[in-house]
A and B are shown apart, each in its own frame.
Chain A
Amino acid sequence: MARKIRVLVAKPGLDGHDRGAKVIARALRDAGMEVIYTGIRQTPEQIANTAIQEDVDIVGLSSLSGAHNNLFPKVVHILREKGAGDILVFGGGIVPIDDIPGLKKAGIREIFQPGASTEDIIKYIHANVKTA
C-alpha cells in the first residue's frame, strides 16, 4: 500500500485569518492525507523546520495579509538551503494575480485564488506528489 501523502498547512506572518487554512487542512484529511497544521503566526524558519521534521511531501502556505511576496519565497529558500528542496510548496489566500509570476519564479509551484475549491487542491496534490 502506498504511504499516505503528508501535508503541512502553514500560516506565515502575523495574519490571523485561519478559516481557509483550517478548512483546507480538514478537507485534505478527509481525502486521506496526513495533515499537520502549524497554527497562526509562524516565521518562514519555523515552517521550513516543521516541514523537514515532519517529513512532509508538500507545504501549503496561506496568507491574507498581503505579506506573501516577502514570506512565501523565504520558505522555499530555507527549504532549499537545508537540502529539502524536494518538498513542494504551494500557496493561497489574497494574492493579486500580478504577483503570481514572481512567486512561481521564486519556487512556489501553484497559487490558489479566492473561490478555489478544496477539490481543486486535492486534485493538484495528487497530481504532483508521487507516492511510492
Chain B
Amino acid sequence: MSKNAREEFEKWEKTTLNKVISKAAERESSFTTTSHIALKRLYTPLDVADLDYCSELGFPGEVPFTRGVQPTMYRGRLWTMRQYAGFATPEETNKRYKYLLEHGQTGLSVAFDLPTQIGYDSDHPLSDGEVGKVGVAIDTLKDIEILFDGIPLDKVSTSMTINSTAAILLTMYIAVAEKQGVKSEVLQGTIQNDILKEYAARGTYIYPPLESMRIVTDIFAFCKDHVPRWNTISISGYHMREAGCTAVQEVAFTLADGIAYVEAAIRAGLDVDSFASRLAFFFCCHNTFIEEIAKFRAARRLWAKIMKERFKAKRDESCMLRFHTQTAGCSLTAQQPDNNVVRVAFQALAAVLGGTQSLHTNSRDEAYALPTEDSVRLALRTQQLIAYESGVADMIDPFGGSYAVEALTGEIERKSMEYIEKIEAMGGAIKAIESGYIQTEIGESAYQYQKEIETRKRIIVGLNQFQIEEEPLRDILRIKPEVEQYQKEKLARVKKERNNLKVKETLAVLKKAARETDNVVPPILEAVKVYATLGEISDTLREVFGEYRER
C-alpha cells in the first residue's frame, strides 16, 4: 500500500475525525461482531495490503473458491430455492410439495418427524405425541411411495434432513425411484447424514459415535458406486448456530466435523478424490449482514486449504465447499411476527451475497408453529425478489474487494483455524464432542447472547425495544392428533400384507453385515424393498451397535 494512503488516513483521524469525536462520542465505545471480532470504524486499503489476490481470492470456480464455486455463479443458474417442508402424513406433505413446485420452487427438502429421525415407528410408545409434528411420519416404503407420488424423481433434486436413519430413507428413495423407472445413478439430492453435530447440538442420535461413523462411511462407499450424483453428507453448522454458537464457532466446528468425516472415510479405505466432491455443507445465516457474507467466503477458502494441504486432494472439485443455507430460526420473534419477514430478507440476501448453492427462507410464523401455506409462499417470494428484482444475482461476488468484507473474511478464517487447531489438539472433533467441549462452548455463547438481550446490550426490535401491545398470532398450522392413529393403522395394514418371512430374512442379513464388516447399505435396501419398517431396521442395528446416552 502506498505510503500516501497511510499518511492521509492518519491525517484524517487527527483532523476531520477528531473534530467530531472530541465533541460527541460514538454510540458505543467499541463495536464487536457476534464472534467477538472488534470492528474498526473504517476499513481502508491498509487493511488488505497483505492480501495476495491470486492465492487468497483467485477466480470463481477455481481453488480456493473464495469468490464462488462456479465460474458463472448466479449468471449461469440461480441458487436452488429449497423450502424445508414436511408435516403430518405423507399424503398431506405430498400436497404441499406439489404446491411449492407449482409456485416456482426448484428443489424439494423433506422434514421428517422425530420418531422417523430417531428410528421409532409411529406405534412405538416413545412416539406418543410426536407423530407428524415436526415433519412427515415415515414408517415403511409405502409412506415414501405416497410422499413422492406424481413427482418425477429424475427431474427434481431432493434434500432429506435425516441423520441416524439416513441409510433407510436413502434406500427407500432409491426403491421408489426404481418403481418409477428411474435408475439410482441419475438421482440427485442430499442426505444430511451428519451424525457428529447430532451429539453436539441437534440430538437425533441413536448409536454411539464410532458405530454411527461406520454407517456414514458405508453410505459414502455405497453412493460412490450406485448413486454418484448424490450428496452423501451435508456437514452442518446450522444446528450448532441455532443452539447458540457464534459465526466463527460455526465455521470452526463444522469444518472440524468435516475433517473427522474425511479422516474416517480415508481410514475405511476410500481415496480422498473418490468421495470428497460429494461432501456438501449447510450453514445458518443470521442477522449480522457483513459478518455473515464474510463467513461464507472464509469457510470456502479455509476448506479448500484443508483439502489441498492436509488431505492432498488432487481434484479441484474435492476442495470445493458447496453449501445450503437456511435463515436463522432462532432470530425469529413471536412478537410482531411481520418483522420476521424483513429479518429473513436480510439474512437471505447475505446468503446470496455469500454465494450459497441453495437456500431455505424461514416463514414469519415459525416462532409459533410450522408455517402456513401463505407464510411459506411469502418466504419463497422473498427469494424470488432477491433473484429477479434486486440485481445482486447478475454479477459474481459483488462484495469481493470490499476492504471491510475482505478484512473480516481473513479474520474469521484465522479465528476459525485457531479453534480447529485447539480441537485437533484434543484429538479431533469426535473427542471434542465426547468430552463435551463443543457443547460447552455452544452453551456459553447461547447464555451470553441471552444475557445481552436481557440487559438490552443487544436490541431485538419488537422484543426488548419498540414493543407494542399485541395479540399473539392465532392463525397457525395445527397438526391434527388423528394423524398418529392414521399412521398406526396404515402401518398395521402394511405389516399384514407384506411377506413377513422375507422381512425376517433380510433383517438377518443386515444383522450379520452389521456384526461383521460388510457394507450395511445393500442389506438395508433389500429390507426396505420388502417393507421392513424403519423401526425394525433401526432395532436390528441397535441390537448390534447399542445406544448412545447423553452425558
- Check B333 against A114 for contact (C-beta < 8 Å): yes
- Minimum CB–CB distance from B233 to chain A (whole Å) comes to 19
B135 and chain A: residue at smallest CB distance: A65
- Minimum CB–CB distance from A87 to chain B (whole Å) comes to 22
Q: Categorize the interface residue count of chain A.
A: 20 to 34
Q: Known interface pairs A14-B118, A97-B472. Does A65 touch B203 (Cβ–Cβ under 8 Å)?
A: no
- Is B114 on the interface with A (CB-CB < 8 A)? yes
**Which residues does chain A contribute within 8 Å of B369, judged by CB atoms?**
66, 94, 96
- Is B389 on the interface with A (CB-CB < 8 A)? no
- Check B130 against A96 for contact (C-beta < 8 Å): no
CA separation between A70 and B118, bound complex, in Å? 19
Q: Known interface pairs A19-B330, A22-B443, A43-B126. Does A14 touch B335 (Cβ–Cβ under 8 Å)?
A: no
Q: Which stretch in A2-10, A47-55, A77-85, A115-123 binds the other chain?
A: A115-123
CA separation between A118 and B476, bound complex, in Å? 26
A97 and chain B: residue at smallest CB distance: B472
Where chain B touches its partner, the secondary structure class is loop
Binary flags per residue of B199-211, CB closer than 8 Å to A gives 1, else 0: 0011110000000
- Minimum CB–CB distance from B128 to chain A (whole Å) comes to 6
Partner of A113, one of B120, B472, B481, B550: B472
Q: Categorize the interface residue count of chain B.
A: 35 or more
CA separation between A19 and B550, bound complex, in Å? 15
CA separation between A15 and B201, bound complex, in Å? 11
Partner of A70, one of B129, B134, B242, B333: B129
**Which residues does chain A contribute within 8 Å of B130, judged by CB atoms?**
13-15, 65-67
CA separation between A119 and B117, bound complex, in Å? 35
- Is A23 on the interface with B (CB-CB < 8 A)? yes
Q: List 23 A-B contacts (CB under 8 A).
A: A13-B130, A14-B126, A14-B127, A14-B204, A16-B198, A16-B201, A17-B203, A18-B243, A19-B243, A22-B443, A23-B443, A27-B447, A40-B203, A41-B550, A65-B133, A66-B129, A69-B129, A71-B128, A94-B367, A98-B474, A114-B333, A115-B335, A115-B463
Q: Interface residues, chain B, CB within 8 Å of chain A?
A: 114-115, 117-118, 120, 126-130, 133-134, 198, 201-204, 242-244, 330, 333-335, 367-369, 443, 446-447, 450, 453-454, 463, 472, 474, 476, 478-479, 481, 550
15 other A-B residue contacts (CB within 8 Å) besides A17-B243, A67-B129, A97-B474: A13-B114, A14-B117, A14-B118, A14-B120, A23-B244, A23-B447, A26-B447, A41-B550, A65-B114, A65-B133, A67-B133, A94-B369, A113-B472, A115-B333, A115-B367
Q: Interface residues, chain A, CB within 8 Å of chain B?
A: 13-19, 22-23, 26-27, 39-41, 43, 65-71, 94, 96-98, 113-115, 117-119
